[in-house]
Amino acid sequence: MNVARLAAVDAAQAARVLREVREATLAGRRARIAPRPVIEQSWGRMLRRGLDPEQDRRSGLLPSEEVRRRREESPLRHVLPVLRQGLLSVADVAQHIMVVADADGRVLWREGASPVLRKADGLGFELGADWREDVVGTNGVGTPAVVRRPVQVFAAEHFVRSQLSWTCSGAPVSDPRDGRLLGVVDVSGPLETMHPATLAWVDSVAKLAEARLRELHLSSLERLRTVAAPVLARLSGPAVAVDRDGWAAAVTGMPYVRRVTLPGTLAPGHRWLPSLGWCAVEPLAGGWLLRVAAEPVATAARRIVLDLGRPERGTVTVTDATGSWSRELSPRHAELLFLLAEHRPGRGAAALAEDLFGDPSRTVTVRAEMSRIRRYLGGLLQHRPYRFCGDTEVEVILPDNPLVLLPHSTAPAVARKRSAARDDRALAP
């Protein structure tokens, strides 16, 4: 069934059909028409988390000062003109609103038709609200953030009953440099105002925003390169000029690196950086000059926190005496680091291939992925076998519900971990 086309022809009939599908599916009965796969999978995630579809779920709103701080730190602020130009004028005429949320699902900007804004207030779709999927159920902000692709959620395709009169079309906006989720742009309104082409329209504007971010990044690196070139020309040792996020603008005396992982806060002086070792850090206009130095004999104790507590993304945070830095993990890297944390003495390539694919012969894939991980963890990982350094403290943060550990993973070792948790729950008194 093409829900979008049916809604365009007869919104009332579309709403009735979707309600029947929702009621049957959530009650465990076979519906006459199956839900769309993206919706059915989202409903499954909500049921596994124990969300009640009859309960109106809302989070506390962020204080206005926190919303302001997040706006100032969000890269999406640079592409608001693109989003407004592409979406807002049409959305306002069509009685929709445009919503921009950050990677945490918090609503940071919300503009459009006043009557629809008032209806959104009634749903808790306000500035500072948390619209993650695992908080408010299947929706056009949280669900695209989980599946990392555009999603339209029509009326009764929402998981929570209080949202059934609403329809959302959301598309993720990713950092064009590394694919990191920056947030979601969404167009929302009553079902009867939605058009079949709304989702494609929102997705195309999100891609324009990503293209604009790429242009801004390249322009910034070119300006930094102009500043760094005469400085690097005077140096005899290995050095690299990077922007504030670690992206390389110019290199001398060493192989080219695309990016250097920097701590969350960086200051001039000697710092240990995972991919370079000990460096002399000096400020440049728009970035940093990193001069690679000999590593001191005594190195600071290091701590790794692997956070898998949220189903939509995992992160790794490294802390030592010089500071800390964090990185969002791809699903494959999250699996590999979890497996290494489970096997601290180490794991060979064949064993990891068995863990990931059930096929110990797929060592080439494992070695390629481990090489990519070592680009940002550097000396914190050793090989033959692959393992965390013995003097590194490793903490793993797991989800409150162990049944949703790495929920998209099909790795046999991860599936066994989830199955063991399920058996433990079944045996619990």
Q: Residue 165 carries which DSSP code?
A: T
Does 315 lie in the same domain as 423? yes
Structure tokens at 304: 């790794």
Q: Is the omega angle on the peptide bond into residue 429 within 30 degrees of 0, that is, cis?
A: no
Total residues found in the chain within this entry? 429
pLDDT of residue 295: 53
Spatial distance between the Cα atoms of 178 and 197, rounded to a whole number of angstroms: 29
Kindly state whether residues 247 and 144 are assigned to the same domain.
no
Is 228 within the bounds of a domain? no
CA pair distance 74, 184, nearest whole angstrom: 12
**276 and 337: one domain?**
no
Residue holding tokens 């059934």? Answer: 164
pLDDT for res 294: 63
β partners of residue 251: 240
Residue 42's identity, in one-letter code, is: S
Which residue segment(s) compose the domain that 100 sits in? Answer: 3-215
Contact 291, 237 (CB under 8 A): yes
Separation between Cα atoms, residue 99 and residue 120, nearest integer Å: 10
Indicate whether 266 and 311 sit together in one domain. Answer: no
| In a shared domain, residues 19 and 98 | yes
Q: Are residues 96 and 131 in the same domain?
A: yes
Q: From the CB of residue 23, how many other CB atoms can be counted at a distance below 10 Å?
A: 14
Q: Which of 215, 250, 266 is the last residue of a domain?
A: 215
Distance (Å, whole) CA 370 – CA 350: 13
Return the exposure string of 233-261: e unless at least 16 CB atoms fall within 10 Å of the residue's CB, then b.
eeeeebbbbbbebbbbbbbbeeeebebbb
Total number of domains in the chain: 3
Q: Same structural domain for residues 283 and 317?
A: no
**Rg of the chain taking only CA atoms, in angstroms:** 24
- Cis peptide bond N-terminal to 385, omega within 30: yes
* pLDDT of the residue at 98: 93
- Helix, strand, or coil (residue 298): coil
Residues 202 and 347 in one domain: no
φ/ψ (deg, to 5) at 242 = -125, 155
**Does residue 108 lie in a domain region?**
yes
DSSP letter for 117, please. Answer: H
**Average confidence (pLDDT) per 10 residues, the chain, 429 residues:** 56 76 86 88 90 86 95 96 88 80 95 89 93 94 95 92 91 93 93 78 96 96 95 92 94 90 80 80 93 61 84 80 78 91 90 92 91 81 86 86 82 87 63
* Spatial CA neighbour of 416 closest among 355, 345, 338: 355
Residues 254 and 323 in one domain: no
Phi/psi for 207 (5° steps) reads: -70, -35
Q: Specify the CATH number for the domain of residue 107.
A: 3.30.450.40
Q: How many angstroms separate the CA atoms of 279 and 293, rounded?
A: 5
* Residue 401 belongs to a domain: yes
Query: Pairing relation of β-strands 392-397 and 302-307?
Result: parallel
What CA–CA distances, in Å, run from 113 to 35, 119, 126, 346?
30, 10, 14, 58
Helices within 242-362 (DSSP H only): 331-342, 349-357
Sign of the Cα torsion 402, 102, 260, 391 reads negative
- Residue 93 belongs to some domain of the structure: yes
